[in-house]
Structure 1
Amino acid sequence: MPFMTHSCVAVRCDGCGNDLDDEYVVHCATEDEARGLARSAAGWRVFSTGEVLCPERDADHQVVIDRLMPPEPQIPITGQLTIDGEEEK
């Protein structure tokens, strides 16, 4: 019997590395199939940037979410005072 190589896609959490299923590794034929499977799994989140998070809510998972957030807006307001009471220029 010859050796054969098969390519597949498995879903793993970016926060903790857990697989989509606790009992076995689910293998999908395509990334789209894997994304769909993760989206339909209870509590799993798939982001448009490609990150996948399991239902766990802890500091490791929050780091991934924080990295995905846009920077806070910096809105300059003419005449606004700084914390030390001086007017911004």
Structure 2
Amino acid sequence: MAMFGLHLGDHRDSLDHLDRALAAVRESGRRREESIALWLRGQVQVMAGDYEGALHSTALSLEIDHELGERYGRMVGLITMGAAGSTTGPARRTR
């Protein structure tokens, strides 16, 4: 549902669905899925123009990927950080 809202330009609806997904995966303890939901949240925030929010969501995703040793997730997250950081100034330093 989040991605439908995103493609229809309804960023708020997408974020609402992603927030519900985040709550569910956090409750289940599934860290990899939490990282993915946070990364997707960051993507929606970039598209909505919320670059600071995107940096925050993506930084949280990167922390989880670092803990899990997920190299691909870290690479994708760093690309998002670069995209958001190019609009807001230097991206926050990551591991």
What TM bracket, shorter-length normalisation?
under 0.3
TM-score where L is the length of structure 2? 0.26
TM-score where L is the length of structure 1? 0.27
Question: Which structure shows the bigger proportion of residues in helix conformation?
Answer: 2
Question: Which structure shows the bigger proportion of residues in strand conformation?
Answer: 1
Larger Cα-atom Rg: 1
